[in-house]
Chains A and B, each alone.
Chain A
Amino acid sequence: MGMTMSQKILAGHADLKSVEAGQLIEARLDLVLGNDITAPVAIREFGRIGIEAVFDRKRIALVPDHFTPNKDIKSAEQCKMMRDFAHRMDIENYFEIGEMGIEHALIPERGLVLPGELVIGADSHTCTYGAAGAFSTGVGSTDMAAAMASGTAWFKVPAAIRVVLEGAMRGWTSGKDLILHLIGLIGVDGALYRSLEFAGPGVATLSMDERFTIANMAIEAGAKNGIFPVDEKTRAWAASVSSRPYAAVEPDADAVYEREIRIDLSALTPTVAFPHLPSNTKTIGAAEKLRVDQVVIGSCTNGRIEDLRVAASILRGRKVAKGMRCIVFPATQSIYLAALREGLIEDLVTAGAVVSTPTCGPCLGGHMGILAKGERAIATTNRNFVGRMGHTESEVYLASPAVAAASAVAGRLADPEEIMKAPGHGAFTKAGAAAGAAAGTATAGREKA
């Protein structure tokens, strides 16, 4: 019986010729990840195992990104505990403030995950690296502790749902809209314990940044992992971040999928997830144009350079609405620097947005933008659970960077199309945003009207 991409990676790392859904296996790990919230518990548990060293100091990554720069004394103590452990164990991939970025943007950027690899992280959004054709999944701190000791973890081999993408997205629609649409379609447990394997001709139309956004939110459908096939774009990306060799994996032609979902990308429109579940989606046309108090652009879902280009292109020459707070979080230092060099930061600040150092911050109600009772935020983040960004009676609406930026200008939930009809400084295309990486200029992504 044929294997899916996820099953093949798991089999390879368990030294098995084949595996099938439901089988329990122990597999070798290429990378074990933790952050300032989850690693302290893992370090405490690691201490209970009673060994002196981690399995491989080069295969562990520790990223202080959640409550950093340290938001209070207790967070500072947790970060210190992680830093001390990293030094004691001589962990190569510990990233201090200044190098630190949001883990799921930083790890791929540093070339620490490549196609065909197997990664676990004590953070649910570890599934992000499926964009690179890797099998990666979130676990808890005790799993992380055991993995730091043994270099292995146990897995129940997942069945898969195949998501076939056709056509290409239009207008302001992006990877975020696709994943919100899919979660709306199958529900927050629609892929529980399963892999979401993306396929079809539409994959080639998606940029790497979009694939990271899509794989990132596989967990919001309950999936164990989300994974993309490895194509020319993946290979070009891999070559740009690492010179390490890798072995890309393809699904077998006779792989068994539990279910197939077909999505016509050209039929998608900007989509918003209303409180309090990521599956509670509406298209922008059908969404009430509610007044908003805060816009958050960033996170491991949408804090990459293309996201900032889209946001800046909408805010450029416009103003954040009076009474609205717009907070932008470039996900890593190099994304921050690229945005600076391209003039995006100037566009954002001139428009009245604030730009922060990388942090998970408000996404999980940590710091840097907490909501008061009754307040409403549109965020490019990944969860809108009760109290996620602050008070239990506050609300989070999940959307793309384009919808978030348009809403910042309007002071209410807004369609980017509508905002861009108003006088601005030149039209913008998504294709231009991707091309901006090569051009690296302030006008990248803009086409003069």
Chain B
Amino acid sequence: MKTRGKTFKYGDNIDTDVIIPARHLNSIDPAELASHCMEDIDKDFVSKVRKDDVIVGGSNFGCGSSREHAPMAIKASGVACVVAASFARIFYRNAINIGLPILECPEAAAAASSGDELEIDLSAGTIRDVTKGADFKAQPYPEFMRSIMDSGGLIEYTRSRLASRGAAAKTAR
């Protein structure tokens, strides 16, 4: 599946406090969270972001708090993918678990500028910077994480695992 959108470029160590400030964590509504996404680092993000746009960050993207509200807000903003040089581990987990596509690719993260058109093929893990005419290949996901993503997220994955566990228990009886 290919998506194409505009780049919003940020620096290193983008923390979850700037992705979604804690003052908005009295809500768990994705649309409401999205209406404040990135506001402490980029006041224009919410008004400018369009479906299939891409957030590009440097190293350690999503560091700090474990709040899943951060990837939830990004996903509900319509962002198709986050590309970064590296991700903080809880953000990485959360994104996989909720089905927000993320790609680790230091070269693409360094090359892209704000406003660049990025064409992303998630299943191939490729990033094309249309504006710059450059192609990049992201780190592949481990197979286990692919299986979570292919199930539709951790909830769906857990549901099917529990169902098969239950079936196995019945057979054992």
Contacts and interface: CB of A to CB of B under 8 A. Distances in A.
A49 B158 contact: yes
Nearest to B23: A365
B126 interface: no
A214 B156 CA distance: 37
Interface residues of A, number: 50
B22 A366 contact: yes
A248 interface: no
Given A67-B26, A222-B89, A366-B22, A154 B13 contact: no
B41 interface: yes
A387 B17 contact: yes
Contacts of A366: 22-23, 25
A265 interface: no
A143 B97 contact: yes
B80 to A, nearest CB: 20
A126 B93 CA distance: 15
Contacts of B77: none
B28 interface: yes
A156 B144 CA distance: 10
B140 to A, nearest CB: 14
Contact of A364 (B18, B65, B90): B65
Contacts of B23: 365-366
B6 interface: no
A41 interface: yes
A38 B88 contact: no
B64 A365 contact: no
Interface stretch (A56-64, A145-153, A283-291, A323-331): A145-153
B73 to A, nearest CB: 12
Contacts of B153: 142
Contacts of B142: 24, 156
A138 interface: yes
Interface residues of B, number: 42
Given A40-B28, A49-B158, A192-B88, A140 B93 contact: yes
A208 interface: no
Contacts of B17: 364-365, 383, 385-388
A24 B144 contact: yes
Nearest to B24: A74
Interface in A46-97: 48-51, 66-67, 71-72, 74-75, 78
Interface in B88-104: 88-90, 93-94, 97-98
Given A142-B98, A150-B158, A277-B13, A38 B67 contact: yes
A89 B25 CA distance: 24
Given A37-B67, A74-B26, A149 B158 contact: yes
B13 A146 contact: no
Contacts of B88: 189, 192, 222
B64 A383 contact: yes
A240 interface: no
A122 interface: yes
B68 interface: yes
A329 B25 CA distance: 21
Candidate in B22, B144, B159, B162 with the most chain A CB atoms within 10 angstroms: B22
A123 interface: yes
Contacts of A388: 17, 22
Contact of A188 (B18, B26, B60, B90): B60
A198 B141 CA distance: 31
A205 interface: no
A192 B60 CA distance: 8
B63 interface: yes
User: Ordered nearest first, which 8 A-B pairs have the shortest CB separation?
Assistant: A140-B94, A74-B26, A140-B68, A189-B60, A142-B97, A124-B66, A146-B158, A364-B22
Interface of A: 24, 37-38, 40-41, 44-45, 48-51, 66-67, 71-72, 74-75, 78, 122-124, 126, 138-143, 145-146, 149-150, 154, 156, 188-189, 192-193, 222, 224, 277, 364-366, 383, 385-388, 392
